[in-house]
């Protein structure tokens, strides 16, 4: 070959190698965007985050039941179970791009509620649970952590405390937390699953709630036994009805006492809740006429496409349809009243989050772990809220929050 031919062959090889590297890199990036290697430590997996600017914001990864194993490192590989169907979906329909379309920079206003999740231990293991709570969970807030959370509360003007779990009453220091918060003059709400009233040593809870003037938000996803037992476990409906009667007997749900008892409805199937007022009227009629039960308000809450409910949808092949329903039902009128705009959430270890859902996805406040005792209360207002595709669950239709429909 002459010099000209040599040069041509050389340039051809260089171009070929360059093209190969580019294509291979693209493939690797795509692959990595869908999988994350998580090192398993004991019974707990470490959760990792991808935070690709502007795209897959705040994606988190949950452990799968049957993990694959990385051939090179031996670590288990868990597929992303964040509410993102694919990189393309996320880029074209991401919640953050939807906010941009609306011209909304989602930030917290003044903090009105400190939501404290005292652990994931629960006497039930409901199929729709966004906490993945159950009787075998070991995450329980200690008295030491509780004291630090209470110190934060004392130093803040936050007027309301919302205690959740798991079943918060199972935490051995639950009553201590309630009493201390009440001594500080804060309004206290407890999210009660009703059946916990039948756990050993918890039978006197109705009187305790009454004495502490706790506001109760109790789960009862339907007034039909079949639906409640199907979602929450066999026998739960009968126990829930009896628990409500006991609460009514100490004065809860009666207008004249001021002791507030709200019920929570969430759909059994993968659909949005119906109109809150109409459902409330149905509940009032059926529970009143058939069981003699009184309550104050019914709160409708959409099922969040994360954790156990996301698994449930995937098993039934309904995940994509449910996400499509949530996106198609996006309602900008809900944005002003999203609970993350007036609430901060703290987990059993004292870490702060924008809400309980972000907590369950491991999406730390502001993108890095921040303990409640490291955060000056005044620094929480004005912070940008971390969002993900699950946020469509809060903005669909009439909206959804810990306090029910938003509009």
Binding site for ligand SF4 (CB under 6 A): 122, 124-126, 129, 131, 133, 165-167, 193, 219, 232, 338-340, 354-355, 357-358, 385, 387, 390-391, 394
Q: Which is nearer to ligand SF4, 80 or 391 (CB)?
A: 391
Structure tokens at 2: 């002459």
For the bound state, the minimum distance from the C-beta of residue 131 to ligand SF4, rounded and expressed in Å, comes to 5
* C-alpha torsion sign, points 270, 397, 361, 152: negative
Q: Which is nearer to ligand SF4, 76 or 308 (CB)?
A: 308
The C-alpha atoms of residue 18 and residue 8 are separated, in whole angstroms, by 15
The C-alpha atoms of residue 368 and residue 260 are separated, in whole angstroms, by 37
Q: Which is nearer to ligand SF4, 280 or 354 (CB)?
A: 354
The C-alpha atoms of residue 79 and residue 61 are separated, in whole angstroms, by 7
The C-alpha atoms of residue 228 and residue 31 are separated, in whole angstroms, by 41
Instruction: Please check whether residue 79 is in contact with residue 45, taking contact to mean a CB–CB distance below 8 angstroms.
Output: no
For the bound state, the minimum distance from the C-beta of residue 126 to ligand SF4, rounded and expressed in Å, comes to 3
The C-alpha atoms of residue 76 and residue 84 are separated, in whole angstroms, by 21
Q: Which is nearer to ligand SF4, 135 or 292 (CB)?
A: 135
Length of the chain (residues)? 407
For the bound state, the minimum distance from the C-beta of residue 20 to ligand SF4, rounded and expressed in Å, comes to 42
Q: Which is nearer to ligand SF4, 253 or 403 (CB)?
A: 403
For the bound state, the minimum distance from the C-beta of residue 150 to ligand SF4, rounded and expressed in Å, comes to 23
Q: Which is nearer to ligand SF4, 15 or 111 (CB)?
A: 111
For the bound state, the minimum distance from the C-beta of residue 78 to ligand SF4, rounded and expressed in Å, comes to 22
For the bound state, the minimum distance from the C-beta of residue 11 to ligand SF4, rounded and expressed in Å, comes to 53
The C-alpha atoms of residue 220 and residue 262 are separated, in whole angstroms, by 10
Instruction: Please check whether residue 218 is in contact with residue 193, taking contact to mean a CB–CB distance below 8 angstroms.
Output: yes
């Amino acid at each position: 070959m002459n010099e000209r031919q040599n040069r041509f062959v050389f340039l051809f090889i260089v171009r070929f190698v360059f093209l190969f590297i580019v294509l291979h890199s693209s493939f690797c990036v795509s692959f990595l965007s869908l999988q994350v290697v998580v090192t398993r430590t004991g019974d707990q997996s470490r959760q990792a985050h991808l935070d690709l600017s502007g795209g897959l914001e705040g994606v988190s990864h949950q452990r799968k039941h049957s993990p694959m194993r990385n051939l090179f490192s031996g670590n288990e590989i868990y597929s992303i179970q964040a509410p993102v169907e694919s990189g393309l979906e996320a880029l074209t329909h991401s919640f953050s791009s939807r906010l941009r379309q609306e011209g909304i920079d989602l930030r917290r206003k003044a903090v009105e509620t400190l939501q404290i999740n005292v652990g994931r231990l629960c006497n039930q293991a409901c199929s729709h649970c966004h906490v993945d709570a159950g009787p075998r969970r070991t995450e329980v807030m200690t008295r030491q952590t509780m004291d630090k959370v209470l110190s934060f509360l004392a130093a803040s003007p936050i007027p309301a405390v919302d205690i959740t779990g798991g079943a918060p009453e199972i935490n051995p220091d639950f009553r201590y937390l309630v009493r201390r918060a009440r001594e500080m003059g804060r309004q206290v709400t407890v999210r009660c699953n009703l059946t916990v009233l039948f756990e050993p040593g918890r039978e006197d809870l109705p009187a305790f709630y009454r004495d502490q003037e706790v506001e109760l938000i109790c789960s009862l996803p339907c007034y039909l036994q079949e639906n409640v037992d199907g979602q929450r476990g066999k026998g739960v409906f009968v126990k829930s009805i009896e628990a409500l009667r006991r609460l009514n007997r100490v004065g809860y749900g009666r207008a004249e006492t001021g002791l507030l008892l709200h019920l929570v409805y969430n759909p059994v199937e993968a659909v949005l809740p119906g109109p809150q007022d109409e459902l409330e009227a149905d509940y009032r009629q059926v529970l009143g006429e058939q069981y003699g039960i009184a309550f104050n308000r019914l709160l409708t809450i959409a099922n969040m496409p994360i954790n156990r409910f996301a698994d449930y949808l995937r098993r039934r092949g309904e995940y994509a349809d449910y996400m499509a329903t949530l996106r198609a039902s996006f309602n900008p009128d809900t944005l002003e009243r999203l609970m993350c705009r007036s609430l901060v959430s703290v987990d059993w270890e004292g870490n702060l989050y924008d809400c309980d859902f972000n907590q369950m996805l491991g999406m730390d406040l502001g993108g890095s772990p921040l303990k409640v005792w490291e955060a000056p209360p005044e620094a929480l207002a004005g912070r940008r809220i971390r969002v993900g595709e699950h946020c469509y669950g809060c903005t669909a239709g009439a909206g959804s929050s810990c306090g029910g429909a938003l509009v």
